[in-house]
Amino acid sequence: MRWLVATYRFPFPLTHGSWLRTYHLLRSLVQLGDAVGLVAYPAPADARAVYEDAGIELLDGPAHDPPRQGRGRCRLSPHAHDAALSAAVAQHAPSADAVLLVREPALQYAPDARRAPRVLVDMVDDPAVERASFGDGRSGDASWIHALRLRMGEKRYERTYAHAVDAFAFTTDVDAGAFAKRHPAARCEVVPNGVDVERFRPMDAVGGPSDARTVVFVGNLAHRPNADAAQWLLQEIAPRVWRTHPDARFRIVGPNPPADLLALRSERVDVTGEVADVREHVAPAAVVSCPMRSGTGIKNKLLEAWAMGRAVVATRRATQAIPAIDDENLLLGEAPAAHAAAIVRLLDDADLRDRLGAAGRKVVEERFTWRIAAQRLRTLAATHPPGGSGIEAFQRISGDERR
């Protein structure tokens, strides 16, 4: 199968969860024997090399940086439209068997992609579900009006272009179901995230000896749910652990830590910032904590910890679309006291850590590899009949835009 993939940014760095997913899905499609071409925006040589080394062809696209602001393709659109990217997608689509558009901002290029037999959108998460996880943000009249306009714009944007798409992929059934409720005619399927199980595997601590006192949290801290979880871990959970285990150490691993998080560093708290190899921090840890209170989608951090055979304590929100069973493959802790108690239990019980870590690794091997995810994406493209309502939608949208 020949794939054309279009993104609204060059999908790099791979510390960004969506771009990590995109890279591994495309690399896995190549490994399965498909031809994959990527059309995006200019990128540094090192970023391009990562994709070229994976066998992904980088196609001619816009010569300028992606627009940060600008007029949308439809009225009230929350996303700026780029005519150059439209032209590039339209140019390359006829030679593809399927076009994959990545994330909601790329949905507007579905009319251009319709020149291919099949058009898919990897939404990853549902924007309405993600927004709801933060609350409505009504702190004043201006913010209320802005939020209302955003919701209206997103609804119109989705309604305008969803008809030109054959199928939508989401990481969880919660996200897929929410989108399908708004768009009953849309085909919505789950293509979960995965893990590179050869890279993330049980191993001796690569950054030093194992430390039965260390609790690790991993995440890109520019992402608000990660920053919130890290703050909650250090301010509400860690003090409860220190009451009985004053020698316990907490390590926050990931790029873009905000100033208020950096201010919490101490002899017992390490905030690393960006690291060259996250495995060096996960491998020696006694516990990996995933205390998510907001956000949506599958958590790569949890799957990677499982793949490395690490014991995990998580909230329910961190386990969306993951077969998490308390005391079988992880420990659940919703409130700070319960989360802290679960961490303490693991710090005290090496056998329990080993049992939970082995069970988590088995789940990943059986259900959450990138190869499995790529195979689901291939099936989604191959089983959907080409043409039909999608072609009609393309013609209708094209006519509407001419008017």
Q: What is the pLDDT of residues 24-77, one digit of tens each?
A: 999 999 999 999 999 999 999 999 999 999 999 999 999 999 998 899 999 999
Q: What is the pLDDT of residues 333-391, one digit of tens each?
A: 999 999 999 999 999 999 999 999 999 999 999 999 999 999 999 999 987 554 444 43
Strand partners, 269: 250, 266
pLDDT on residue 16: 84
User: What is the spatial distance between Cα 348 and Cα 333, in angstroms, rounded to a whole number?
Assistant: 17
pLDDT on residue 385: 53
Question: What proportion of the chain, given as a percentage, has pLDDT over 90?
Answer: 81
pLDDT on residue 295: 83
pLDDT on residue 134: 58
Question: In the predicted model, what is the mean pLDDT of residues 286-314?
Answer: 94
Q: What is the pLDDT of residues 125-172, one digit of tens each?
A: 998 887 776 554 444 445 666 677 778 899 999 999 999 999 999 999
